[in-house]
Structures are given as structure tokens and as C-alpha cells.
Chains A and B, each alone.
Chain A
Amino acid sequence: MEGFPILSIMMLVPLLGAIVSLFAGTASRMIALAATLVTFVLGCLLWANYEIGGAQWQFTERAEIFAGFSYALGIDGIALMLIMLSVFLMPICILASWTSVTKRVGEYMAAFLFMETLMIGTFAAQDLFLFYVFFEAGLIPMYLIIGVWGGDNRIYASYKFFLYTLLGSVLMLIAMFWMVAEAGTSDIPTLMQYDFPAGAQTWLWLAFFASFAVKVPMWPFHTWLPDAHVQAPTAGSVILAGVLLKLGGYGFVRFSLPMFPEASADFAWFVFILSMIAVVYTSLVALVQQDMKKLIAYSSVAHMAIVTVGLFAFNVQGLEGAMIVMLSHGLVSGALFLCVGVIYDRLHTREIERYGGLSINMPYYALFFLLFTMASIGLPGTSGFVGEFLSLAGIYQTSTLVALICTTGIILGAAYMLYLYRRVAFGDQKNEDAASMADISAREWVMMAPIAAVVLWMGVYPESFLAPMRADIAALDARIASAAPPSDSALVVGTPRDEIANAVECEGDHGATETGEGGDH
């Protein structure tokens, strides 16, 4: 693979597909499917050729064709996994829109393919400004996807999505200019090793946080998400939840933590507090939703809060857990949106009350839905368990309190997901039309089965996914370890008592002497 610009080609294939689709009308469905499948195959080649334990940055490409920044690509294990997630979900998104999108198909497919190019570019960019270009450009196709093919309130949602995320990112751009002026390079690997002055780190961290917190999204910057999700078409929601939210988490891993470790440590509690509120609050909000997509959207906010606490736990478990939660959430919430899409296509409503007893007439659908529900809750054997367990184990070492509160998210998660599942799949068949819906078609099988397989794979043998990232996470941990915030759950060595515990006092019966107080945490 030496010298073969596979990353550029992975970006070029969907881009060409997008241009052709724009003019191809309904034939664009096949073109889009072919382009995304080719990209997926290239992605598999990428993974197969990625050398675990090799150089940190592989498949690097560099060309000085622009003024001001360079066209530099390259991936580490973390980027590899996120690229795999994107290229894996993309053909599924195209399939999900196969019959449900009937107007302006060419433009729709073009928007999705363009989106894929940008997502790969964002994860592969090795130049700060190139990253920004890809990161920000995603606004254009997503704005169109929500606005043209969205639901009734799509215009409000598209405006909110666009302006919210734009405002978040522009401040990051100013911070980038400062960093480049200070460090004299816009090369990301170099910047990741550059020590910015501690005073400046605070401001830089906040500027990056403004962008990533909106993308993740963290409470209280999450309000755009339910609107965008509810109004977007099914495939749009899948991409939004599956990949775009990961850009925020990726940003923390790639920029905030390694470039500003001291500021990250200073703000760790700020992130913890926002995440704790998010876990509890959005879970409770999810519990009372009547709209299926809104429920899943709120559950996304809660899950992403687990990601942020894992990232700011400053230890390897936390980081690994956060990465796995991101991958798992990308698959599971994407799949849940697909599940909603399947019945939405049949009945054109997302209201939970309109359904009921679907396990009677749609047994296979109910089966898949159940699997993804369990994965979302984090049942052992599914991907959700691995990620959440590692994240919580990581944060426990930093703060027991945060771990305690975030774990309630799992319980609440079980509550709202099971409650959703009961109302949709179990119980009486309340409505005739819902009761007469046909089970999933072959096309829907093809969409669901691969995700289900990967969810189980990640749940049973997460090593496949952790192995490429291990070295990078270790490097990141080494970079930030010195700044790690104090831990309240580390074992404290107590002072040994003077005599053995069951020693009998000779005089009187005062019982045992005072026991050591040290080791009770």
C-alpha cells in the first residue's frame, strides 16, 4: 500500500459519485449505493493494511497545493475506527432512503455522498485548517438534508442546526489562528506535542470547547439535537447520530486533550458536572417523550455524556471506554433510528401511542429492535456494555461521585428504553393499521443484519476494535497523565495497627483498639 493514496481515493469516490448523482435522477440510487460500497471496500482494505503497533500516523499524504495550509492526510487507530464507522453506516443510509425518498433523489444522494467525503476528510486531516474546512463544510449538506427532505417543522430545525453549530465553530477558528501563530505550524501531529503556555490554554480550550460541546452535544448546548433529529429524514438521523456527533468526541481526543492537557484538567470538573446533569436530566426527559425519534435523540445526549466523562477521566480505561461508547453509540443509535424509520415508512407517524403489539405481526422487526434496545441499555454481550463499563471504570478511578451519578444513567436508560420497547412491541395491538403492517423486507434485513452482527462482535470480542487504538490511547494517556486531576478513589495505604486485630486487651474490656480509617474508600 506504500505510496498508494488510499485516503484521497476514499474521499474522491463519493465525491465523484455525488457529482454524477446530481445529474442522474432516480438512477442515482444505484450510483450512490455503488459509490458507498466501493468506499466501504476501500475502508476494509485500509483496516486490513493498517499496521497495529506500527507508526503512529499511517497512510500519510501531503501536498502543498494551497496557500495558508497544506493538504495533509494520515490516520492513527482512533481515526481509522471512526472512518470505518462512517463508511460502514453510509451504504446502510442509502438503503434506508431507497423507497422513502422520492422527491429530488439525485440531489439527496449527492448530499449524502458529499457528506461522506467530508466525514472521511475530517477524520483523516492532519492539517489544522484542513480539518476545519472539512469539519465546517458538513453544515451545507446537512442543512439541505434537513431542510429539503425533513419533516413538517424542518425549516426551524435546519436554521437552528446551522446557526448553532456555526457559532460554535467560528470561535475555534480564531483559536486555531492563535495556535498556528504561536507554534509556527498547522501540522496536527506537531501541535499535539506542542506545549502551549498554561494561561493561553484556558482560552484555547474554551474556544475549542464551544465548538465540540455543540457538536457532541453536551447539556446545555444540546437543544438543537432533538429538533434536528426529529425533522431529519431517517438516513439523516442515522448520519447525525452515527457520525456527526462523534466529531465532537473526536475533537476532544484529537485537540482539547493532547494540545491543552493542563486546561483539560482544570476544566475536568466543569465537564463532569455538565455530563452528570446531562445523564440524569436528559434520561428523565427521554422517559416522558411521546415521539420515538425525540426519545432516541435525548438518549443520545445521555450516552454522549458517558463519552465525555470517559474522556476526561485521564486514564486509559476511560479513554478506551469513551472510544468504544462512541463506536457503539454510532451503531446502536443509528440502528434505532433505522428501526423507527422502518415503521415510520409504513405508518408515517413517530408517535409511540399509535403502535403496540408489533411483536405479533412483525416478529423479526421486534427481534432486531430488542437487540438494539438491549445494546443501548448496555447489556453484557452487546457493544454498549463494553463501552459503558470501561468508561465508568475509568471515571471511578478519578471520582467515585461522578461514577455513581453516571451509573444511574444506565438504570434510567434501561427504564426509558424498555418502556419504549414495551409500548411499541408488546401489549395489545391498539390500531388496525399498525397491526396490519408487514414485517421487514429483504432490503431492511440487509440494513439491520450487518449492524446487529457488528454490535454483537464488539460486545463479545472488543479486542478487534481496541487493538488498533491501543497504542494511540496509550500515547495520549502518557501525554496527559502529568496533568491528571487528583483522584479520590485511589487506594490509600493505611497505617498498620500496633497489634493484631484479635488481640485481647489484658486490662479491662475496651474491645479492639481503633481500627484504621484510611482504607474505607
Chain B
Amino acid sequence: MDFAASFELIGSELLLTAAGLILLLVAAWGGDKAARPIAILAVAALFGAGFMLVPDLHFGADGPDTLAFGGLVKVDSFALFAKALIYLAAIACLIVAPQFFDSEAAGSERGMRAEYPVLMLFAVLGMSIMVSANDFMTLYMGLELNSLASYVLAAILRKDTRSAEAGLKYFVLGALASGILLYGMSLLYGFTGGTDFSSVRSALSGELAYGPLFGLIFVLAGLAFKIAAVPFHMWTPDVYEGAPTPVTAFFSTAPKVAAVALLTRVAFEVFGGQVVAWQQIVMFTALASIVFGALGAIGQENLKRLLAYSSINNVGFILLGLAVATVDGASAMLIYLFIYVAMSLGSFVALLMLRSESGDLYETFSDIRGLAVTQPAIAWSLLFLMFSLAGIPPLLGFYSKFVIFQATVEAGLIAFAAIAIAASVIGAFYYIKFVKVMFFDEPAGVVTGKSGTAHWVLLFLTVAIISPLGYLLTPSLTDLADKAAAALFIAV
């Protein structure tokens, strides 16, 4: 394979790299005054990178043609699906950011910093590399690029103690997770003598020895940190609550997609022959995430913390799809990810619209009492989003659970599915509490601020996707997800 073809395959990454570096220079000389044009250009770059994915996404890409740089990178349908989702989520998070940073919500540091869009671009680039990694080195490079950018993003409000705390916590625990992951990778390298996925896989055939088994467990644990699955979820509520809300919206969508996609790829492409070794671990993690995510959310007053637990809960459902270890399960995971990203983005955009007159953000239950009377549009949108997150039909959130559980039952894990779905009822409790507070309680009447058009457009777009209209998307979504999942299972 010549370099030209390799470069062609990573076109979108090249575009993002170039855009990121140029905009960094612009930021260095232009200062914070240039923040807005930089953000617009960053969005344009993401759109451009997204468009480059369309043809391959449509026709499907798999097999040896998708390998670049001698197997370091693999740009198959699976990677393309995840990348498209990541870019879309990042665009949405960039669009809602300026109004937040320009308002009182940003505390004493008014105004968006010029580095913010640049950091987002680099984070996205890191994720883009993560999802197309076909070698542990590529994987780690992408992961760290993403993580380092994310740590800074969490702490971007330097004078806000909560933001700084979130950044620090994220960094310390993220570094720990990276260490665990690296240790696992080094063990695998030591026992198999390779770092690229196919050679590790072929060296792991047959009975798994203790050494590589430890490697496997450490790698999975490190990745479980990144996707915030129980028992490695402790950082999530604090980071989500402390980070500025647009950053939280970003954390709960794009990196989650990247990390889940990465985990899936590692599970199937590296440990595909050792399903028995990791299936029980993933099953336990999935169930524990569903239960603890739901239980943890029940007592929360802070809405961002609540959504953090909700994301843990959702990761549990996504992992159900991984636990069944079939093509259908992988496809169901991707469909779930798409719908989850829409729901999560919608919820955070709605939270960003809970403003006071001066633009300060409200983020507790007591502030949204009776929102249905004072701000009916936001309240109804949140109602749809919450019922959708709870998985109540006819909203699209039901469909995401539908595909996951269908895959689980078809794989024969019926008791497992029954326990998981019964646990999902616990989760319904706090979602309907959201509705109760907004619709049944007397109005608090504090949410009076106006929100920009971009917020409304995004909110209505996400609500339209998760509304019953979204079911019309399901045939094409299923088609794309099936192609992506099939690409993952083509034997290397």
C-alpha cells in the first residue's frame, strides 16, 4: 500500500490537524477577540471532515483496503460511523458554547477563550484516531491526544474553583486509567510480541494464559474508566458537575462514542477469539452500571450530576450490546450510541437554556419547578427527552433499548436481559421525577432568560429526532449500523 492511498484514507484527520494547527496560530496572534471566527472556522472544518466521510459511509468500507500505514490505522465503516457521530456531536457542542461563555454563567472570566475551539478540534482529532486505531500505539496516541485536550477543557474556567477541581480530578483519574491501560498493553506486548491488533489476536489463539489474561483485564479496566462504567465511574459525577456545561455536553457525547467504539474494536478485533474471557466481565459491568447509575441518580438535586449518573446508566445498556458478542449486538450498540448522543445533546442544550435574566445558569431541581407553566417549550422538550432516556415508547429512546434487548435475547442471554430490563425501571424513577418537578409542582419562576436561536434550533432538532418521527430514520440507521458492525467482524 502506497502512502498516497494511506493519506487519502485519513483525509478527514489531516483536515482536522491542519485546521487545528492553523487556528492555533490564529489564536496565538489574534487573542480572545478572534474566538468567534475561530469557532466558526472550527465548525466549518468539522463539517468538511464530516463530508469527507459520506461516500464511504454510504457504500460501506471494509476489508484490507481500509488499512493505512501498514496496518496502524483502519478506516472501515465502523470507524466512519463513529467518526461521523463524533463530528456531529462536537459541532453541536461548539455551537452552544459562545453564549455560555459570554454570559454571567462563566463567572469572572467573561468571553470565550480563543483556545477553546482549538482544543475541541484536537480532542476530536484524538477521538478520530482512537476509533480508527488498529494498533495499540495508535490507540494510545489518539486516546492521550483526546484526554489531554479534555483535561484542559474541563478546567477552562480557570478562576472557577469547581471547574478547576473538575479538571484536576479528571486529569488525576484519567492519568491513572491511562497507566492501567498502558500496563495492560505492555503485558500483552510482552506475551505476544506485537502491538498491532491482528498479530496480538493471532498470538492469543487457544487457551488464554494468565499473563495475557491480566493484560486483557487491565486493558478493559483502563477503557472502562474512559467510558465511565461501574466500578470505574467515580469521577463522572464530579467532573460533569464541575466542568462548564457546554464542556459537560461534549464529555457526555463525543468522547463516550469514541471510547465505546474503541472498546468494541479492541474486544472484537484483539480479543475476538477469547470472548469467554471477557464476556462475564462485561456482563457484570453492564448490569452494575445500569443498577448503580440508576440508584446513584435518585438522590441527586443537581441536574448535571443527575445526567452524569444517567450517562453511567446508559453506558450499562450499551455494554449489554457488547456482552452478547454478536454482530447484531455490535450493530445495536451503534444505534444506541446515535440515539444516546441525540438525547444527551438535547438534554444538555435544554440545561443551557435554563437561564436567569442576566444569563446565569440554573442547575438544580428546585429551579425548574413548574417550568411547564413559565417556559412550556423547554419543559415539553425536556419531557420528551426524559421519557426517551427512560426508554418509554413511542419516543426513540425506546428503540435504542429495543435493539439492544433484542440482540441480547436473540443471543440466548434471556435471564440476563430480564434482570437488566427490570433494573431499567429503577432508572425510570428519576426520569419521571424530572417531569414531575417541571409539570406537577408550583412554578418557581426563576428561569426567565432568553436563549439564542442556535439553542432553539439544536433543541428542536434533537427533539424531532427522538420524537416518534425518528422511527422513520431507523431503516437507514440500521443499514449504516449493520454495515459498520459487519466491517468489525470481517476476519483480519
* Partner-binding segment picked from A52-60, A153-161, A237-245, A417-425: A153-161
Chain B window 279-309, contacts with chain A (Cβ cutoff 8 Å), 1 for yes, 0 for no:
0000000000000000000000000000000
Q: Is the CB of A178 within 8 A of B409?
A: yes
Contact among A68, A104, A107, A144 for B402, CB-based, below 8 A: A68
A38 contacts chain B at the CB level, 8 A cutoff: no
In the complex, which residues 177-209 of chain A have their Cβ closer than 8 Å to any Cβ of chain B? 177-178, 180-181
Scoring B399, B424, B440 by chain A CB atoms within 10 A of each residue's CB, the highest score goes to B440
Which of B392, B408, B439 touches A147 (beta carbons < 8 Å)?
B439
B residues near A285, Cβ cutoff 8 Å: none
| Smallest CB separation, A173 vs chain B (Å) | 7
Given contacts A68-B399, A181-B409, A181-B410, contact A136 B439 (CB under 8 A): no
* Interface flag for B435 (CB, 8 Å): yes
How many contacts between A and B, using CB within 8 angstroms? 94
Contact A163 to B428, CB < 8 A, known contacts A132-B393, A147-B436: yes
Interchain CB contact under 8 A, B392 and A137 = yes
- Please determine whether B402 and A66 come into contact, CB atoms closer than 8 angstroms: no
- Which residues of A from 395 to 443 have beta carbons under 8 Å from B? none
Q: A91-122: contact bitstring with B at CB < 8 Å (1 yes, 0 no)?
A: 00000000000001001000000000000000
Contact assessment for B422 and A170 in the assembled complex, using a CB-CB cutoff below 8 Å: yes
Q: How far is the CA of A500 from the CA of B410 in the complex (A)?
A: 69
Judged by a CB distance under 8 angstroms, whether B425 is at the interface is yes
- Tell me the interface secondary structure of chain A in the complex: helix
Of B9-17, B243-251, B474-482, the one touching chain A: B474-482
Q: Are B436 and A173 in contact (CB under 8 A)?
A: no
Cβ contacts B401-442/A at 8 Å (1 or 0 each): 011011011100010011001101100110010011001100
- A159 CA to B433 CA, complexed, in Å: 9
Of B409, B432, B474, which is within 8 A of A177 by CB?
Answer: B409
Residues of B within 8 Å of A144, CB to CB, are 435, 439
A382 to B372, CA, bound (A): 45
Q: Which residues of A contact B457 (CB under 8 A)?
A: none
Whether a CB of chain B sits under 8 angstroms from the CB of A504 is no
Contact pick for A67, options B393, B422, B425, B475, CB 8 Å: B475
Q: B472 at the A/B interface (Cβ < 8 Å)?
A: yes
Closest Cβ of chain B: how far from A174's Cβ, in Å? 5
**A65 CB-CB contact with B under 8 Å:** yes
B384-400 vs A, CB cutoff 8 Å, 1 = contact: the mask equals 00010000111000110
Given contacts A163-B429, A167-B425, contact A67 B478 (CB under 8 A): yes
Contacts of B432 in A (CB 8 A): 143, 159, 162-163
Known: A140-B387, A143-B432, A171-B422. A133 touches B414 (CB 8 A): no
Are B393 and A137 in contact, with the CB atoms below 8 A?
Answer: yes
Known interface pairs A147-B436, A178-B409; A166-B414 also in contact (CB < 8 Å): no
Contacts of A34 in B (CB 8 A): none
List the A side residues contacting B408 at CB < 8 Å. Answer: 177
List chain B residues, Cβ under 8 A from A162: 428, 432
Residue of A with least CB distance to B428: A166
Is the CB of A129 closer than 8 A to any CB of chain B? yes
Is A66 a contact of B409 with CB atoms below 8 Å? Answer: no
Kindly state whether residue B7 has any CB partner on chain A within 8 Å.
Answer: no
Which residues of chain A come closer than 8 Å to B393, judged between CB atoms? 132-134, 136-137
Residue A30 interfacial (CB < 8 Å): no
Choice from A134, A159, A166, A180 contacting B436 with Cβ under 8 Å:
A159
Which among B405, B406, B479 has the highest number of chain A CB atoms within 10 Å? Answer: B406
- Of chain A, the residue at the smallest CB distance from B410 is A181
A42 at the interface (CB under 8 A from B): no
Give residues of chain A (44-79) contacting chain B, Cβ–Cβ below 8 Å: 65-68
Residues from chain B with a CB closer than 8 A to the CB of A129 are 402
A139 touches B (CB below 8 Å): yes
CA distance A171 to B420 in the complex (A): 10
Contacts of A167 in B (CB 8 A): 422, 425
- Asked whether B51 is an interface residue with its Cβ less than 8 Å from the other chain, the reply is no
Specify which chain B residues have a CB less than 8 angstroms from the CB of A67 in the assembled complex: 474-475, 477-479
A133 near B398 with CB under 8 A, answer yes
- Minimum Cβ distance to chain B for residue A252 (Å): 21
B414 touches A148 (CB 8 A): no
Which residues of the other chain, B, contact A163 by a CB distance below 8 angstroms?
425, 428-429, 432
**Please, how many angstroms separate the alpha-carbon atoms of A155 and B474 in the complex?**
35
A143-B435, A177-B406 known; A170 vs B474 contact (CB < 8 Å): no
Residues of B close to A166: CB separation below 8 A: 392, 425, 428
Over the window 466-478 of chain B, the binary record of Cβ atoms lying under 8 Å from chain A Cβ atoms (1 yes, 0 no) is 0000011011011
- The smallest beta-carbon distance between A151 and chain B, in angstroms, is 12
Contact, CB under 8 Å: A148 / B402: no
Q: Contacts A68-B406, A133-B394, A167-B422; is A174 near B477 (CB within 8 Å)?
A: no
Give Cα A155–Cα B479 distance, bound, in whole angstroms: 42
Residues of chain A with a CB closer than 8 A to B402's CB: 68, 129, 173
Q: Which of A134, A158, A173, A178 contacts B421 (CB 8 A)?
A: A173
Q: What's the nearest-Cβ distance from chain A to residue B161, in Å?
A: 36
Question: Quick one: CB contact mask for B70-82 with A, threshold 8 Å, 1 for yes?
Answer: 0000000000000
Chain A residues, CB < 8 A from B399: 68
Further contacts, 9 of them, CB under 8 A, given A134-B393, A147-B436, A177-B410? A65-B471, A65-B472, A133-B398, A155-B440, A162-B432, A173-B405, A173-B421, A174-B414, A181-B406
Those 4 A-B pairs whose CB atoms lie nearest each other, nearest first: A177-B409, A67-B478, A133-B393, A67-B474
5 contacts between A and B (CB under 8 A): A65-B472, A136-B398, A163-B432, A170-B422, A177-B406
A residues adjacent to B (C-beta < 8 A): 65-68, 104, 107, 129, 132-134, 136-137, 139-140, 143-144, 147-148, 154-155, 158-159, 162-163, 166-167, 170-171, 173-174, 177-178, 180-181
